[in-house]
């Protein structure tokens, strides 16, 4: 294996990717998950096995540290894990997952990666458009795999952020406790949380595939469909960046591949 490749970058003072801190409970009205793929793979746009063969791909972008490449694996560790009030001239710190970005523009896509939970409680794939101002920080949609250390269970979450929790007006409304009920109504149908029924193990590699085509997003884990959502914001035409998030300590990512896609049917 190659020596440790540090990917450290000074924290970005002006912004953060605002990954949801907790998933909503699974709904009794969950959408049916398509048994077959919803997207057909086209051109391979990107791949990285983190073995250090050749120069590092410049399309990788630091968002919220820290990530390192070690022993041929991209490892993320959440360091902003608690709120720290401003003091002694230093700004306040808000809890946030570690986030690593990838500038590969797509409209519809298939992304495949391997993930390993080595203390992490969440690993996710997010699609953003930094130039879009109608949602906080250009968030469009995301797919998450979550681990609950209390009951040792996994869940899969898909979120339409563009027309849901990160839509500019809704994002501002969430800051007002008096508008909690109004926000809840606006978010109906914008997020789906599914229990993962197959046996997954902490410390072992899990293959995750996220398909995004039109208004639909589907997620499989080790070849089994685990989550699906159809929502208008997912159809955003210019998804300019993928972001990979890790909450907790630690989460590993390997063998990332991104294809352009077309509808399977």
Look at residue 89 in the predicted model and tell me its pLDDT. Answer: 65
Q: Distance (Å, rounded) from C-alpha 17 to C-alpha 126?
A: 10
Contacts 24+ apart (CB under 8 A), 23-29: 23/144, 23/146, 23/155, 23/157, 23/191, 23/193, 24/157, 24/191, 24/193, 25/193, 26/155, 26/193, 26/194, 26/195, 27/192, 27/193
pLDDT > 70: percent of the chain:
82
Statement: residue 27 has pLDDT above 50: no
Residue 108 pLDDT = 98
- Could you report the per-residue pLDDT of 152-211, keeping only the tens digit for each? 999 999 999 999 999 999 999 999 999 999 999 999 999 999 999 999 999 999 999 999
Q: What is the pLDDT of residue 83?
A: 52
Lowest-confidence segment of 63-77, 143-157, 210-224, 234-248 by average pLDDT: 63-77
Domains and CATH numbers, the chain: 43-263 (2.60.120.560)
The pLDDT tens digits of the residues spanning 29-85 come to 899 999 999 999 999 999 999 998 878 899 999 886 679 999 999 999 997 565 556
Residues 219 and 158 sit within 8 Å (Cβ to Cβ): yes
pTM comes to 0.86
Task: Respond yes or no on whether the N-terminal peptide bond of residue 250 is cis (omega within 30° of 0).
Answer: yes
Give me the phi and psi of 185, to 5 degrees please.
-65, -40
pLDDT (0 to 100) of residue 265:
84
pLDDT given for residue 150 in this prediction: 96
Residue 15's pLDDT is 31
């Amino acid at each position: 294996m190659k020596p440790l490749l540090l990917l450290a970058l000074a924290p970005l003072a002006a912004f953060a990717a605002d990954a949801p801190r907790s998933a909503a409970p699974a709904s009794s009205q969950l959408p049916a998950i398509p048994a077959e793929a919803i997207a057909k793979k086209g051109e391979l746009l990107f791949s990285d096995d983190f073995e250090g063969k050749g120069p590092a791909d410049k399309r990788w972008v630091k968002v919220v540290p820290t990530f390192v490449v070690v022993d041929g694996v991209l490892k993320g560790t959440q360091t902003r894990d608690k709120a720290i009030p401003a003091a002694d001239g230093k700004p306040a710190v808000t809890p946030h997952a570690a986030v690593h970005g990838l500038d590969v523009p797509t409209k519809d896509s298939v992304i495949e990666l391997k993930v390993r939970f080595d203390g992490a409680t969440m690993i996710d794939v997010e699609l953003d458009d930094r130039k879009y101002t109608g949602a906080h920080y250009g968030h469009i949609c995301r797919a998450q795999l979550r681990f609950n250390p209390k009951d040792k269970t996994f869940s899969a979450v898909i979120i339409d952020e563009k027309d849901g929790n990160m839509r500019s007006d809704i994002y501002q409304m969430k800051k007002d406790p008096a508008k909690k009920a109004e926000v809840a109504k606006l978010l109906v149908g914008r997020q789906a949380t599914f229990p993962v029924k197959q046996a997954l193990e902490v410390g072992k590699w899990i293959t995750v595939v996220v398909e995004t085509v039109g208004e639909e997003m589907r997620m499989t884990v080790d070849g089994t469909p685990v989550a699906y959502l159809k929502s208008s914001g997912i159809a955003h035409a210019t998804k300019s960046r993928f972001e990979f998030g890790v909450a907790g300590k630690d989460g590993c990512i390997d063998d990332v591949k991104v294809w352009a896609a077309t509808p399977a049917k």
